[in-house]
A and B are shown apart, each in its own frame.
Chain A
Amino acid sequence: MEFDWMKIPYALLTLFIVVNYGFLLNALIQKIAARVGRRYGIPIWQNYVDLIKNYGLRSSITHGAMFYLGPVFRLSGGVGLLLFVPAIYGSYMFSNLSFAGDLILALYFIFFGTLGMALGAGESGHPYAAIGVSRGLSQVTTSELPLALAVFSVALQYQTLSVTEIVAAQQGGILNWTLFTNPVAVAAAMLSFLGSMMRPPFDVVLAPQEIPIGPPTEYHSSYLALMQTNRAIFPVAKIVIYMNLFFGGASDWPTFFLKVFLIYLWSAFVGVVFPRFRVEQSIRWFLIWAVPLGILSILMV
């Protein structure tokens, strides 16, 4: 197969756009959440400040090469996920590296970062990191399940696993979106979405507000910077999949920005309203409320 080398700079361009958008989006969502709580919130450019500061810091300690794997896997996962999925429908320029694989590749690549992060965090030897991993993995088994079912339902519906073809099938009006042609699957997927965005009620894995817990406990300076970068890329990359599968994709950047923002807002919206679940509670919640919807969507296709 001929490889078009131009794809590489194109892909890097997508990456650049998404990183910047991600930084702004994260800050915006955080600000919205703060306003709901009658706080002022962070400045919109706060993430840039943090990032520059963290990249600028030089760490003088390390837990060994395996320790690096955490952020490296994490960011590779985010970038890879973004690049294996076409960002803008119908655009050769922003189709990224989607020739390498279909939807299944994207789905499984979500786990790439999780696994690597867990490994790197384990190497730090910090028990809080291990506890966070234990919680995170436990939760992810059930929170991803409705998404997997919904994806399967959509693949059955369109009889393809190719993301581009799924988007193509939704063109020609808002009523052609999967949201309207297969609402049950979308409902299941959107519930699953809540579990993967690290916001309440499913954020016990990181518990960001209180004691430092979760995989990043021991990471600082440039390690943390890498992870912050990923925190900008990964949600967008994941939302791109949602957008492509359920909300008709995006054929230009403005639509892209809008749809991603709205989907992201859904998790923030739920997050500011609900308190936090313990892990076993969230496992049960997904099994009781979200999984049946997913099963239903498979049976109804």
Chain B
Amino acid sequence: MLSYLTQRLASTILVMTLVGIFVFLLLHFSAGDPAAIIAGDYATPQQIVAIRQRLGLDDPLLVQFWRWALRVIQGDLGVSIFSNTPVSVLILQRLEPTLSLALLTMMFAVSIAVTFGVLAAWRVGSLVDRVLMGFSVLGFSMPAFVVGYALIYIFAIELRWLPVQGYRSIVEGVGPWLLHLILPTLTLGLAYVALIARMTRASMLDVLEEDYIRTAKAKGVATRTMLMKHALKNAGVPIVTVVGIGVALLIGGVVITETVFNIPGIGRLVVDAISKRDYPIIQGVILLFSGVYVLVNLLVDLSYTLIDPRIRY
């Protein structure tokens, strides 16, 4: 176990180093002068020269990378060009909405998707199964902003059941907070539900063919116990894996969902940075989100032994 842990940690560090190199090189190999990009569109030539000297852009690339990496490791993601505030501060200010949305979506999506996946596998070819499979193809084909606007139009504009846009902090009360997050959660969760439900169904179908399931049925175990204890537990590893991989889907979706629903989170921070060409923000958020993704998948790998004690490292 310990040797596996060290090995897995080492590969995680390697992957994050590579991500860092990619993100660093992105700025240096793109068309145009990095100093000019950082200075923004309205900078004078003198300002560009000043930035060039301040950031040491004339030093060898390797020296620059080392300096940059040291700062990133210490949590210094640079300073926003437009607001002149450290990127890490900007990210922290906008953490709550994004975290609320992502965690709520995850809880909602996993519970719905696993339930329907199990039901569909239990009754293959039934109406539930066919509706689920049809829905999942649809879930992969509908862009999040289309789903979002359709939901806003139906539930906020026509029916007036829910707020159109915006966000309320959880400190203002759980009610308004939840009310503002219902439609964004549905929007963000659709593709994620489709992905997890498909994998749950596939994995359950494999397990339901096993001899021990037949034995369980033969000795008269209640269907519910058979499905949840005997089958789902053994089908768990691929499901948890896809929950981890799907976090990439969530991250991309957060950016779009926050734009549609006007939620002041980290996704909106990036989108606002695009038009202002505020590159340090884009860079910082990419590093953060990639780090979260890699970390979640590390935890997923380590959780295999908990889900399935037969797996030992």
The finding on whether chains A and B are genuine partners in a shared complex, rather than unrelated, reads no
